[in-house]
Amino acid sequence: MIKGLAITTIWSTDQDRTVAFYTEKLGFEIRTDVPMGDARWVTVGIPGQPDVEMAVMRTDGHGLDAESAEALTKLVTKGAIGGGVLRTDDCRAEYERLKARGVEFLQEPQERPYGTEALLRDDNGTWFALTEPRAGGLDMDKPWAGE
């Protein structure tokens, strides 16, 4: 029986730069940092959420052939890969805090049927939704066709 998500992947073209982005700009913490020959196993996580980690994986390593590594790098740097949803209690305040730290946003906070959402990009191009869930859950009376 699956009990939960433990580790997910953030693709990186430069692990040191990406770890600095997540720790210094977003406020994550380093959980694991182990050299593995010419590779490195490094994970970061959100303080207070010890059961979920993000592995910062190089786009040009970890058993990928050259063609796949090149394709993955292009997709990541193009901004074609979404990393997930980061929850917050106050999307507008967190948007201002992160913007002041130099985080790039693709979308300012906007109201959605499920809450307030902004879209940010990490240092590689991966985008995340920064979402403040709507009190009481999804507003089924508010139409939304996406954008």
3-state DSSP call for residue 101? Answer: coil
Q: Which CATH number fits domain 1-78: 3.10.180.10, 1.10.357.10, 3.40.50.720, 3.55.10.10?
A: 3.10.180.10
In the chain, domain spans: 1-78, 79-147
Gap between the Cα atoms of 101 and 26, Å rounded = 8
- The CATH number of the domain covering residues in 79-147: 3.10.180.10
Other residues' Cβ atoms within 10 Å of the Cβ of residue 3: 6
Express each pLDDT in 51-106 by its tens digit: 999 999 999 876 789 999 999 999 999 999 999 999 999 999 999 999 999 999 99
The average confidence (pLDDT) of the chain is: 92
Going by C-alpha positions, the residue among 76, 89, 97 that lies closest to residue 18 is 76
Backbone angles phi, psi at 137, to 5 degrees: 95, -160
Backbone angles phi, psi at 76, to 5 degrees: -65, -50
- Kindly tell me if the per-residue pLDDT of 140 is higher than 90: no
Backbone angles phi, psi at 32, to 5 degrees: -140, 140
- Kindly tell me if the per-residue pLDDT of 36 is higher than 60: yes
| pTM (two decimals) | 0.88
Express each pLDDT in 111-120 by its tens digit: 999 999 999 9
- Kindly tell me if the per-residue pLDDT of 13 is higher than 60: yes
